[in-house]
């Protein structure tokens, strides 16, 4: 069964550094998402992306964050000037179509640790 893959599984970065989290969505999916989960807290929506544009973003997704689809298969989340509070699990998800009734398929996440 096709799946969303994320790399790396664990990323350790010094505070203030830039980090890029990578995702390969399911191949025939057109809509892409990033969520994060701080330890012990809820999974939170960050951003949705379609047709090389951000469709929607949360208040968490400020100028520190950016997303890109650099080629036909990868979808990336860049975090500039990382802070301690950016430490979390970051999940990528994709769906074939848009809309509230379309299932989103999640990857296994990247654990980001900021030191």
Considering the complex, what minimum distance in angstroms separates the CB of residue 105 from other proteins?
A: 7
State yes or no: residue 107 binds other proteins (CB under 8 A). yes
The CA distance from 18 to 80, in Å, is 4
| Subset of 27-66 contacting other proteins (CB under 8 A) | 31, 33, 35, 41-45, 48, 55-56, 58
For other proteins, the closer CB: 5 or 76: 5
The CA distance from 65 to 59, in Å, is 11
Considering the complex, what minimum distance in angstroms separates the CB of residue 49 from other proteins?
A: 10
Contact 64, 79 (CB under 8 A): yes
State yes or no: residue 75 binds other proteins (CB under 8 A). no
The CA distance from 8 to 59, in Å, is 25
Q: Which two tokens stand for residue 61?
A: 């997704």
State yes or no: residue 100 binds other proteins (CB under 8 A). yes
Q: Which two tokens stand for residue 103?
A: 């299932």
DSSP letter for each residue of 77-91: EEE-S--GGG-EEEE
- Contact residues toward other proteins (CB under 8 A) are 4, 6, 31, 33, 35, 41-45, 48, 55-56, 58, 91, 93, 95, 98-109
């Amino acid at each position: 069964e096709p799946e969303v893959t994320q790399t790396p599984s664990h990323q350790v970065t010094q505070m203030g550094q830039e980090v890029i989290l990578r995702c390969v969505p399911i191949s025939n999916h057109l809509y892409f998402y990033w969520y994060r989960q701080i330890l012990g807290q809820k999974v939170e929506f960050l951003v949705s992306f379609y047709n090389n544009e951000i469709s929607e973003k949360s208040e968490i997704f400020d100028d520190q964050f950016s997303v890109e689809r650099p080629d036909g298969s990868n979808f990336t989340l860049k975090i500039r000037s990382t802070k301690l509070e950016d430490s979390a699990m970051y999940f990528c998800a994709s769906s074939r179509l848009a809309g509230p009734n379309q299932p989103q398929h999640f990857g296994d996440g990247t654990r980001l640790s900021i030191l």
